[in-house]
Amino acid sequence: MKKNLFILLFLSLGATAIAQYCSCISVAINKNDGTVTKSGAIKSSDAYSLHIQKEINNSETTYYLSLDATSRTMFSNSLTNNKGKIELFLKDKSKIVLENAKCLYNPVASGFSVTFGAVITKEQLEIILSNPIASFSALGMIKTSFTEKKQREQQIIISCLLNR
């Protein structure tokens, strides 16, 4: 009896630990089309939010990477509706380039928000999993960096998105 109780306690602790590990992931389900969106966010050294997202729609999975930057001044529309590239400088000084990145302007109450985003492949996320993003540069307009602690948070989020 004590042996079974010990095994049950051990299993429940293990399940709880795994659930807490991925507690940084939010999940949203679109009731209209059944699309499931899972994502996590990390703050950069400039307090910008890096979002890593997984979207599952009819067994098709797409990954996105975006950075939300808030500014006190508004960028011109000619800058914000452009397409370009995002450069991810990794911890080992290598680089991943995401083509066809978009820049979108979103006014918010506290200022102006600009989102720089692009589709990222599973293979590129696997590279970041072992070698996290040290700095992020988008369309020649913005650059920010991530501390080692935030780099570990990136790895946790990516691990949860790839393995769930």
In a domain, 66, yes or no: yes
pLDDT score, position 4: 52
What does the block give as tokens for 56?
């599952």
In a domain, 13, yes or no: no
Give the range of the structural domain holding residue 47, as residue numbers without chain letter. 25-163
pLDDT score, position 51: 96
- Host H or E run for residue 101: strand 95-108
pLDDT score, position 17: 41
DSSP secondary structure string for all residues of 20-60: HHTTT-EEEE-TTT--EEEEEEEE-TTS-EEEEEEEEETTE
In a domain, 93, yes or no: yes
In a domain, 130, yes or no: yes
pLDDT score, position 139: 84
In a domain, 32, yes or no: yes
In a domain, 18, yes or no: no
Q: Which residues of the chain have pLDDT under 70?
A: 1-20, 71-81, 106-112
What does the block give as tokens for 156?
């946790």
pLDDT score, position 73: 54
Structural domains in the chain (count): 1
| Other beta carbons less than 10 A from residue 89's beta carbon | 17
In a domain, 3, yes or no: no
In a domain, 15, yes or no: no
First to last CA, the chain: 34
Per-residue model confidence as pLDDT tens digits over 39-84: 999 999 999 999 999 999 988 999 999 999 876 555 555 555 678 8
